[in-house]
Amino acid sequence: MSLFYKSTRDDSVKVTASQAILKGLAPDGGLFVPESIPSFDKSLEELSKMSYKEVAYEVMKLMLDDFTEEELKACIDKAYDEKFDTDVIAPLVKADGAYYLELFHGATIAFKDMALSILPHLLITSAKKNDVHNEIVILTATSGDTGKAALAGFADVKGTRIIVFYPKNGVSPIQEKQMVTQKGDNTYVIGIKGNFDDAQTGVKKIFGDKELEKEMAEAGFQFSSANSINIGRLVPQIVYYVYAYTRLLADGEIKAGDKINAVVPTGNFGNILAAFYAKNMGLPINKLICASNENKVLYDFFTTGEYDRNREFVLTTSPSMDILISSNLERLIYRIAGNSAKKNSELMESLKNTGKYEITPEMKAQLSDFYGNYATEAEDAATIKKLYEDTGYVIDTHTAVAATVYEKYKKETGDDTVTVIASTASPYKFTRSVMDAIDSKYDSMTDFELVDELSKISNVAVPQAIEDIRTAPVLHDTVCEVNEMSSSVKKILGI
């Protein structure tokens, strides 16, 4: 074992991968980052002969090196099984010259399943390895998709409870229905009267509450996180970029060593950071194209070097990207600050106090791997309509943000490198917005009429996840104020 994780805010913190997974967030509020990023020990050709699970093992063993082979393979086997509706787990679909990497074939039809189907197993294994006997309480803020994927992953997992906070008026009707119908004695879902940033800030505050931590320990509980700040989320996300590359290689679309572009519809900066880590592990990636919706803090950051969250929070049709504080960006900031916890802390402190920070020109010069742009609501809808009319392929509103930004990138640069677009949700998860984009005649239909109509026009069967909620009863109806989040948690735990 040789890879340790450090906090982005305190140089003295050093833990193993399993400890980082258990804790979620460092005690100082920083995020855990690997001390160095390991390189692949198999060639791209070797990897191209492997299944998804085999690639997952080859990637994850390097990043989570205190797990034994047996432990890690058991986690992988339990995660990537028939919960996914295709053996290949993450299929690549070519449409209009780009490769869509469909990351939505898991239980809740969004890409969050790729990591959240394995996180519970990584966490339980980490607890065993570290002799933890407390019940683990997963506390999660969601902009819609993480919540359901985490609930599905942790439901009825022994030794865990899961509490999910979501913005009551900030998720799609199907997202909300998916969450509030969640079964499982250990699942709790609470709507908050605020937006996603309020939910995320509230959860971080609860994590940082030392008094509460003591009360929890006395009652036999400890917190962990299923948000993408947990490296147990990030590491499994590296896998599918490697897998996508090896599929292109196996299919003869590229030669080993050829570069590809990756376009990622971005919110909390987790998915694109995983692609960045993949690049650093040795995957030949040319540009990491960061696509934002109208909440375009990241576009502004990449163009100006200033991160500024002081702006109006826009509710868009891609709600899982409606975020003004992209948590995982901190991991990149730490790195371009020369792995300096001190410099990073100063910037994060400034973000907390003034809502903004500015990086130095030296730091900005290290961002050349990235290209940032954004899509307006109208552009997003037009992209869905055009792709459908030209090819018959229907994409969701988040993926359409990526497709729009990719078009802008091509126009601007003329770059014709083979490109993979991360397709992060099934169009069935955002049926109304998708169908509205295609034709206004669908306006008057109910949500489930639209589902059937989408099936007709796309020739894609209605996913089980949608069938399941057609008639499912609502099991969770708690709503609270932002400042009641902590007391809601206490009430659930009876402390």
Ligand X SMILES: *Cc1c(COP(=O)(O)O)cnc(C)c1O
Query: Angle at the Cα of 305 (from 301 to 310), degrees rounded to 5?
Result: 55
Nearer to ligand X, 129 or 335 (CB): 335
Least CB distance to ligand X at residue 142 (A): 9
**How far is 30 from 20, CA to CA, in rounded Å?**
11
What residues between 44 and 63 interact with ligand X by CB under 6 A? none
Candidate residues 425, 437, 480, 489; the one interacting with ligand X per rule CB under 6 A = 425
162 binds ligand X (CB under 6 A): no
Nearer to ligand X, 52 or 111 (CB): 111
119 binds ligand X (CB under 6 A): no
Whole-angstrom Cα Rg for the chain: 21
- Binding marks (x or -) toward ligand X, 251..270, rule CB under 6 A? --------------xxxxxx
271 binds ligand X (CB under 6 A): yes
Q: What order do you get walking across the sheet with 14-15 strand by strand?
A: 14-15, 5-7, 32-34
Catalytic residue check, 456: no
Nearer to ligand X, 110 or 132 (CB): 110
Least CB distance to ligand X at residue 111 (A): 6
404 binds ligand X (CB under 6 A): no
Nearer to ligand X, 110 or 324 (CB): 110
316 binds ligand X (CB under 6 A): no
For residue 300 the two structure tokens come to 């502004």
Indicate which residue of 6, 23, 112, 287 is catalytic.
Answer: 112
Nearer to ligand X, 161 or 398 (CB): 398
Least CB distance to ligand X at residue 277 (A): 13
| Interface with ligand X: number of residues (CB under 6 A) | 17
Least CB distance to ligand X at residue 169 (A): 18
167 binds ligand X (CB under 6 A): no
383 binds ligand X (CB under 6 A): no
Nearer to ligand X, 48 or 108 (CB): 108
**Dihedral over alpha carbons 366, 370, 376, 380 (to 10 degrees):** -170
196 binds ligand X (CB under 6 A): no
225 binds ligand X (CB under 6 A): no
147 binds ligand X (CB under 6 A): no
What residues between 89 and 118 interact with ligand X by CB under 6 A? 110-112
Least CB distance to ligand X at residue 108 (A): 9
321 binds ligand X (CB under 6 A): yes
320 binds ligand X (CB under 6 A): yes
Least CB distance to ligand X at residue 104 (A): 8
Residue 448 corresponds to which amino acid? F
145 binds ligand X (CB under 6 A): yes
**How far is 81 from 90, CA to CA, in rounded Å?**
12
Nearer to ligand X, 129 or 279 (CB): 279
232 binds ligand X (CB under 6 A): no
Least CB distance to ligand X at residue 240 (A): 12
Between the CA of residue 293 and those of 90, 230, 321, what are the distances in Å?
24, 24, 7
424 binds ligand X (CB under 6 A): yes
228 binds ligand X (CB under 6 A): yes
Nearer to ligand X, 109 or 122 (CB): 109
Least CB distance to ligand X at residue 319 (A): 9
User: Are the C-beta atoms of residues 380 and 404 closer than 8 Å to each other?
Assistant: yes
Checking DSSP bridges between strand 14-15 and strand 5-7, what pairing results, if any? antiparallel
- The catalytic site residues sit at 112
Chain contacts with ligand X (rule: CB under 6 A): 110-112, 145, 228, 265-271, 320-321, 398, 424-425
